[in-house]
């Protein structure tokens, strides 16, 4: 099977991230890498950095003339990918269209039911599945034999059919490095600021999964709670490859929880120090499995910036709703350690949790106020992703209609595309004006961000009187803040 993998024009991520869209998407590159390792012909077209539009992508597909076309879907970029799939299918009905990625894994059934252009959806990890699909294809593509391939979904007699879950890959070490050498890496010009200089940066993932179970998060389902990590030796080899081959001076660890296992994190940091790797790192951590000693070791290994989820100022919301059993005292302590050790950090906050009261939401603002001089702050409004506990709650509480489909633009569902993409927003307790106040108090009040440049996007996303009402409500809060605050 000859395979053509397409990185879509917006990259792995949605349009609104375009200005940061400079990191290679690892998922599709892992697929390319296993195909290449197994001597199967593969090409990756990076239409994001090559700035290829649909017509040019179609031409590329015609030129390479593969048997199968593969794309990766996230919930946020799903509509762009669906449109592209439709175009490709119309042009090349004989080619096998395969999709994978977090949205395929979490909303595969919905997608295969509604998006006819898709021939096969890969649910979960794709490395072994794609090889089995290739073997099936090369053995004559007998449709009756497809059932044997675990972890795929397709339509049979017009109905979606799932072959059953594919067991996770237990030992990740034998996997090849993601095939960055197949894309124009010099055009992925992601840079990271260190000591006033912009350093050349790229990405790496050293583990899959997260042992925790935050209510809004797909990871426990997509990757599982049983975390699988590459051995420190294997991670260091990949770091060195990124440094020597692509000139990386900074590496962003894409692990969901870099410090999920203290012992392993220590071993990895010690090996990086011992081998004098000499590059800087960015990593996402959980603060309840952090210690001063571990942070110091991470700093010595080159960790320059960490991020962690605080999610809410109210301990009740954080513990009982989000299931993040972290106290405010632990938050302050982690912030102090980070600051003392000279590690830069950002704390993530989310507003509008289920059952969160106005007073509790304001606790988040107070907590932000207390730590904002020591760490960066990132705020967002809660969004609903498929397959999460939050999605179930939203359905049970009629915040998502019973017949809701992820595959169509559903105007009954609240979204705020100009701020956070075309994904349903979780709006239960607060009015639009309150949501505006929560989000803008920090971003406009403290960070002095101007919203003027959002106006074209806002205008584009107004389709009804209700849309107009919600943006006006938020806009009024913005102007009030601008007029009455310094």
Q: Which residues bind ligand B12 (CB under 6 A)?
A: 11-14, 17, 20, 23, 25-28, 30-31, 70, 72, 74-77, 98-103, 105-106, 122, 125-127, 130, 205, 217-219, 222-223, 254, 256, 380, 385-386
Query: Do residues 318 and 310 make contact, with C-beta atoms less than 8 angstroms apart?
Result: yes
Q: Pick between residue 22 and residue 213 the one whose CB is nearest to ligand SF4.
A: 213
Q: What are phi and psi of 116, to 5 degrees?
A: -70, -25
Question: Quick one: what does residue 241 bind among ligand B12, ligand SF4, none, with the CB cut-off 5 to 8 Å set by partner type?
Answer: none
Q: Which of 368, 345, 332 is nearest to 446 (CA)?
A: 368
Question: Quick one: what does residue 214 bind among ligand SF4, ligand B12, none, with the CB cut-off 5 to 8 Å set by partner type?
Answer: ligand SF4
CB of 211 to ligand SF4, least distance (A): 7
Task: Using the CB atoms, write b or e for 430-443: b if 16+ within 10 Å.
Answer: bebebbbbbbbbbb
DSSP-assigned letter for residue 90: H
CA pair distance 159, 150, nearest whole angstrom: 18
CB of 348 to ligand SF4, least distance (A): 9
CB of 419 to ligand SF4, least distance (A): 20
Query: Do residues 284 and 258 make contact, with C-beta atoms less than 8 angstroms apart?
Result: yes
Which residues in this chain contact ligand SF4 in the complex, by CB under 6 A? 210, 212-214, 217, 219-220, 256-257, 286, 309
CB of 210 to ligand SF4, least distance (A): 3
Which 3-state string (H, E, C) describes 371-404? HCCCCEEEEEECECCCCCHHHHHHHHCCCCCCCC
CB of 220 to ligand SF4, least distance (A): 5
Question: Quick one: what does residue 417 bind among ligand B12, ligand SF4, none, with the CB cut-off 5 to 8 Å set by partner type?
Answer: none
Q: Pick between residue 256 and residue 414 the one whose CB is nearest to ligand SF4.
A: 256
Q: What are phi and psi of 369, to 5 degrees?
A: -60, -35
Q: Pick between residue 85 and residue 337 the one whose CB is nearest to ligand B12.
A: 85
Q: Pick between residue 208 and residue 318 the one whose CB is nearest to ligand B12.
A: 208
Query: Do residues 321 and 353 make contact, with C-beta atoms less than 8 angstroms apart?
Result: yes
Helix (H) or strand (E) holding 36: helix 26-37
CA pair distance 66, 75, nearest whole angstrom: 27
Question: Quick one: what does residue 375 bind among ligand B12, ligand SF4, none, with the CB cut-off 5 to 8 Å set by partner type?
Answer: none
Strand order in the sheet with 197-204: 191-194, 197-204, 250-253, 280-284, 303-311, 344-351, 376-381
Question: Quick one: what does residue 286 bind among ligand B12, ligand SF4, none, with the CB cut-off 5 to 8 Å set by partner type?
Answer: ligand SF4
CB of 177 to ligand B12, least distance (A): 12
Question: Quick one: what does residue 17 bind among ligand SF4, ligand B12, none, with the CB cut-off 5 to 8 Å set by partner type?
Answer: ligand B12
Q: Pick between residue 294 and residue 433 the one whose CB is nearest to ligand SF4.
A: 294
Q: Pick between residue 13 and residue 66 the one whose CB is nearest to ligand SF4.
A: 13
* DSSP β-bridge partners for residue 378: 348
């Amino acid at each position: 099977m000859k395979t053509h993998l397409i990185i879509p024009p917006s990259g792995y991520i949605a349009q609104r991230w375009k200005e940061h869209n400079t990191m290679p998407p690892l998922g599709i590159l892992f697929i390319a890498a296993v195909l290449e390792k197994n001597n199967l012909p593969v090409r990756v077209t990076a239409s994001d950095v090559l700035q290829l539009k649909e017509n040019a992508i179609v031409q590329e597909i015609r030129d390479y003339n593969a048997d199968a076309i593969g794309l990766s879907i996230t919930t946020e970029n799903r509509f762009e990918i669906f449109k592209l799939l439709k175009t490709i299918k119309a042009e090349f009905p004989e080619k096998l269209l395969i999709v994978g990625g977090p949205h395929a894994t979490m909303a595969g059934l919905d997608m295969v039911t509604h998006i006819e252009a898709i021939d096969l959806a890969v649910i979960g990890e794709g490395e072994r599945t794609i090889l089995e699909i290739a073997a099936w294809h090369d053995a004559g593509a007998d449709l009756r034999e497809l059932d044997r391939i675990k972890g795929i979904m397709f339509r049979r007699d017009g109905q979606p059919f799932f072959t059953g879950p594919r067991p996770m890959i237990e030992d990740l070490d034998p996997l090849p490095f993601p095939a960055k050498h197949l894309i124009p890496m010099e055009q992925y010009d992601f840079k990271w600021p260190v000591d006033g200089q912009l350093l050349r940066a790229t990405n790496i993932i050293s583990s899959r999964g997260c042992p925790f179970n935050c209510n809004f998060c797909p990871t426990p389902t997509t990757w599982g709670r049983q975390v699988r990590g590459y051995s420190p030796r294997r991670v260091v080899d990949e770091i060195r490859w990124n440094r020597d081959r692509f000139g990386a001076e900074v590496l962003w660890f894409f692990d969901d929880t870099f410090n999920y296992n203290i012992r392993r994190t220590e071993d990895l940091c010690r090996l990086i120090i011992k081998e004098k790797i000499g590059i800087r790192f960015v990593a996402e951590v959980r603060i309840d499995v952090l210690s001063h000693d571990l942070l110091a070791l991470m700093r010595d290994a080159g960790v320059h910036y960490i991020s962690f989820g605080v999610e809410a100022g109210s301990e009740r919301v954080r513990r009982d709703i989000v299931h993040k059993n972290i106290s405010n005292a632990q938050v302050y302590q982690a912030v102090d350690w980070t600051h003392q050790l000279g590690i830069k950090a950002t704390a993530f906050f989310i507003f509008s949790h289920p059952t969160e009261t106005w007073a509790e939401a304001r606790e988040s603002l107070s907590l932000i106020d207390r730590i904002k001089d020591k760490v960066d702050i990132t705020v967002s409004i809660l969004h609903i992703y498929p397959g999460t506990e939050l999605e179930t709650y939203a359905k049970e509480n009629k915040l998502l209609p019973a017949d809701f489909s992820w595959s169509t633009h559903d105007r009954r569902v609240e979204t705020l595309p100009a701020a956070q993409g075309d994904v349903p927003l979780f709006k239960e307790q607060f009015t639009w004006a309150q949501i505006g106040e929560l989000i803008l108090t920090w971003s406009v009040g403290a960070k002095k961000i101007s919203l003027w440049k959002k106006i074209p996007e806002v205008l584009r996303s107004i389709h009804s009187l209700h849309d107009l009402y919600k943006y006006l409500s938020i806009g009024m809060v913005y102007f009030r803040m601008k007029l009455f605050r310094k």
